[in-house]
Every structure is written in structure tokens, then in C-alpha cells.
């Protein structure tokens, strides 16, 4: 499941600010076993004993076009919720 909301604020001089929020649920889990010397990865679904992983993420971006070249910088904060 994936929910998100995004807002883009256009400013003068081809400048923009973008703010977004997303809530993610991951219903499959990776089980890795390297004990036999060879990697053995197994994907398993969430069950009643293995709950899905959940996270909330907030991102902030700033972009500007200067003489035909796009410059942008973005940062984010992600919190994993169990």
C-alpha cells in the first residue's frame, strides 16, 4: 500500500519548492542465509506473526533553472514504524 501527497509551489525566476509526504507498507520480507557459503535469499509474505513494515516519509526539494540548466537539491526524513 502506498499513499502520498505532493505540493509544488512555483516562484518567480523559474524557481520551485516541492513538499511531499508518503506512507508506505511493505508486505514482503527478505530472509537472507549466507551460512552455506553461497547467498540464499528468500522472499516471504507478511503473516499474523510477521507484520508488514510501515514507514512515513517527508521530503523537501528546491529547484531552479539558470540559463537552461536545471539545478535542484532535495532532502528527506524517513521514520520506520512497527
Bigger pLDDT: 34 vs 64: 64
List the one residue out of 50, 9, 54, 1 whose CA is nearest residue 29.
50
Considering its fold, how many domains does the chain have in total? Answer: 1
Mean pLDDT on 45-66: 94
Collapsed DSSP state (helix, strand, coil) of residue 20: strand
Domain span at 23: 2-81
pTM, 2 dp: 0.71
Q: For position 6, what pLDDT does the model report?
A: 93
Within 8 A by CB and 6+ apart from 64, the residues are 13, 14, 15, 16, 70, 71, 72
pLDDT per position as a tens digit, 20-42: 999 999 999 998 887 767 778 88
Chain centroid offset of residue 42 CA? 23
In percent, how much of the chain has pLDDT > 70?
95
**How far is Cα 9 from Cα 71, in angstroms, rounded to an integer?**
16
Give the DSSP letter of residue 16. E
Amino acid at each position: 500500500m502506498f499513499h502520498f501527497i505532493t505540493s509544488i509551489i512555483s516562484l518567480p525566476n523559474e524557481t520551485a519548492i516541492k513538499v511531499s509526504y508518503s506512507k508506505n507498507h511493505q508486505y514482503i520480507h527478505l530472509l537472507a542465509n549466507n551460512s552455506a557459503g553461497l547467498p540464499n535469499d528468500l522472499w516471504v509474505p507478511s503473516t499474523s506473526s510477521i507484520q508488514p513494515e510501515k514507514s512515513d516519509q517527508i521530503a523537501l526539494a528546491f529547484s531552479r533553472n539558470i540559463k537552461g540548466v536545471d539545478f535542484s537539491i532535495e532532502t528527506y526524513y524517513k521514520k520506520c514504524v512497527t
